[in-house]
Chain A
Amino acid sequence: MSVTARDTAVANAGSVREWLRDVPAIPFLILGCIAFAAIFADFLAPYDPQFGSLTDRFKPPFWQHGGSLAHIFGTDHLGRDVYSRLIFGARVSMVVGFTAVIVSGVIGTVLGIVSGYLGGWVDQVIMRLTDTWLALPALTFAIFLAAIVGPSEMNIVIILAAVYWTRYARIVRGEVLSLKEREFVRLAVVAGCSKISIMRRHILPNVVNSSIVLATLMLGVVIVTEASLSFLGVGVPPPKPAWGVMLSDGKQGLMVGYWWLTVMPGVCIMLMVLSANLLGDWLRVKLDPQLRQL
């Protein structure tokens, strides 16, 4: 008994190592750095991200002529430190991105399971709603919602969740349709399990993998959408240092050579989205080979 237990423990440790062996290291590292910056922003940022000194406006990054190590990525039109703003911007992207993905994932997965398992008119209602939802262009729809509820970080999360839950509902429903024909679900039915406990105990654990994969892939989409909304002025309200807001603030400077105001947040967005997507692709193959054509 104890021998077998130890053997399994060893085998598990081996399989964990095996599992982690082909983790895409670079995306993982980038996301880790961004997460680290987001969590410890207060300690890492050398300056206050919302207030600058107007005497230090448009300072270039340190390697350019006129730049200094005091502001390694330069300053913007209000003399705020770009590096500090990027660090605090990571916090906004992370918080908004993750919460929106989780909220939309939970809503979409639950509705997908209910729709797929119960079928009938419930399925019809939820799926027609999803169809209608998907027919609306996501960004336009998000701007429309933002115009109604007004800009704030909380509202952005609600809007993004409201826009993107349909993707989960679609995919989860498809999975549930095939799952509910599986013999173990039938066995649960003939054993007298209620619909709720079948959905909770037999269906949910079997679709969670797909939801997680989809969530990882959606992380990139959600971050881009958040940045777009902020860029358009309907996202995170301006004094807050979101990457999209920084892009928007910096765009006038682009023509007169203040390139660092747009390139720095742009690169950050790109790196984060790229990492999220690469990680999602890897997870998809890892967790659910059948979903490769998702």
Chain B
Amino acid sequence: MLNSTRNSASSDVMPPLLELRNLSTHYVSASGSRVVRAVDDVSLTLHAGDTVGIVGESGSGKSSLALTLLRVLPPAGRIVSGQMLLDGDDLVPKPENEMRRIRGKKIGMILQDPMASLNPLFTIGDQVGEPLREHEGASRSSAWKRAIGLLKSVRIPSPETRVTQYPHEMSGGMRQRIVGAIGISCEPRLLIADEPTTSLDLTIQLQYLNLLRDLQKEHNLGLIFITHNLGIVAKMCNFLAVMYAGKMVESGPVSQVFNNPAHPYTEALLSSIPRMTENRRRLTAIEGQPPDMSNLPPGCAFAARCPRAFDRCRTEEPPVFTPAPGQTARCWLVAPESRATGAVS
């Protein structure tokens, strides 16, 4: 609640850092007969200094959303509709060479696998400095000098010697911090982190998350955190978006969504987190499999797995409802009329 008031207050003053309006990305097969709606009608607002967590199962479209934001989709992927406003400037119609200047410069990204994210043949200094040379035309020596500063800011000990070393001389946690340093090297406004901690062990994960949060505060970054770990969302994010089958089924301030999930899918996700305090309750898993993305059923994509689905769910697709201020959900259960008739029980 507190977050949403702050959001609305700041949005009066300036446009949000990032605003997605009804964004859709489809993958079309070569023959054009199969269409996968990887990102379907997604709307999202992010302010500088805020963190949005995007959660969903594998294949729910969260990584496609990240690729869409940077417009680095594989050849089969197309942005078919919608707008992506970065500081009020739509990125969708931008020509490729302008887009290239935005990648890394205004929008940074941290990829999943730190062990593979660095080129084994170049020194750390060269790789951290690469975006600086590419975007700001920095000379090799000045890029190198700034790389030392960047390594310091991601808390790498003795950065002066580390810049001269090669990736194989670093541990996994260090490499991921270096990848983080590359992500922030050109001081972007927006940082996308695509499951940055999945391949790190738990203690390193925590360190890394703290580091990301400090960096965010320092640079007033907008952070998009893609994960399937709701615990990380609770720690890192102030806004949560849940994706299912390409759609954003629920979004809202983290505390609001955690306490009052409107969509049964969110509810199921939340109850599948193991909790230390309630050790007597069985862990509930979500029954069934995610739907075939190229052949979605009519109606709500989650209906087949939803314990509370009723007839309308299987025939008609739910639009976006607003169950509480700042919270949205695509579910008939929170439709004003079904509330009135008491369908929610």
| Chain A residues near B (Cβ < 8 Å) | 1, 4, 119-120, 182-184, 186-194, 197, 201-202, 205-206
Contacts and interface: CB of A to CB of B under 8 A. Distances in A.
B276 interface: no
B161 A1 contact: yes
B131 A191 contact: yes
Contacts of A187: 109, 111, 117-118, 179, 182
Interface in B81-117: 100-105, 108-109, 111-113, 116-117
Contacts of A4: 161
B267 interface: no
B75 interface: yes
Interface centre among A184, A188, A192, A193 (most CB of B within 10 A): A192
B130 A183 contact: no
B199 to A, nearest CB: 11
Contacts of B120: 184
Interface of B: 70, 72, 75, 100-105, 108-109, 111-113, 116-122, 130-131, 134-135, 161, 179, 182, 185
A191 B119 contact: no
Given A184-B117, A202-B119, A206-B121, A190 B72 contact: yes
Nearest to A195: B100
A248 B340 CA distance: 102
Contacts, number: 70
A4 B158 CA distance: 13
Contacts of B108: 190-191
Give the 5 A-B CB pairs with smallest separation, nearest first.
A192-B104, A192-B103, A183-B116, A191-B104, A190-B109
B130 A193 contact: yes
Contact of A191 (B113, B116, B130, B161): B130
30 contacts: A1-B161, A119-B75, A120-B75, A183-B112, A183-B116, A183-B117, A184-B117, A184-B120, A186-B111, A187-B182, A190-B104, A190-B108, A190-B109, A190-B111, A191-B109, A191-B130, A191-B131, A191-B182, A192-B102, A192-B104, A192-B105, A192-B131, A193-B104, A193-B131, A194-B100, A201-B122, A202-B119, A205-B121, A205-B122, A206-B121
Given A119-B75, A186-B111, A187-B182, A192 B134 contact: yes
Contacts of B135: 192
B118 A184 contact: yes
A206 B182 CA distance: 21
B119 A189 contact: no
Given A4-B161, A191-B131, A197-B134, A184 B101 contact: no
A194 B72 CA distance: 12
Contacts of B117: 183-184, 186-187
Given A182-B116, A192-B135, 17 more contacts: A183-B111, A183-B112, A184-B117, A186-B111, A187-B117, A187-B179, A187-B182, A189-B72, A189-B103, A190-B103, A190-B104, A191-B109, A191-B185, A192-B103, A192-B104, A201-B130, A205-B122
A76 B117 CA distance: 64
Residue of A4, A183, A187 with most chain B CB atoms under a 10 A cut-off: A187
A122 B82 CA distance: 31
B341 to A, nearest CB: 48
A184 B119 contact: yes
Contacts of B134: 191-194, 197
A124 to B, nearest CB: 13
Contacts of A192: 100-105, 131, 134-135
B161 to A, nearest CB: 7
B32 to A, nearest CB: 17
A183 B161 contact: no
Contacts of A191: 103-104, 108-109, 130-131, 134, 182, 185
Nearest to A183: B116
A186 to B, nearest CB: 6
Contacts of B113: 183
A126 B101 CA distance: 30
A172 to B, nearest CB: 16
A186 B113 CA distance: 11
B78 to A, nearest CB: 15
Contacts of A119: 75
A178 to B, nearest CB: 12
Nearest to A197: B134
Nearest to B99: A192
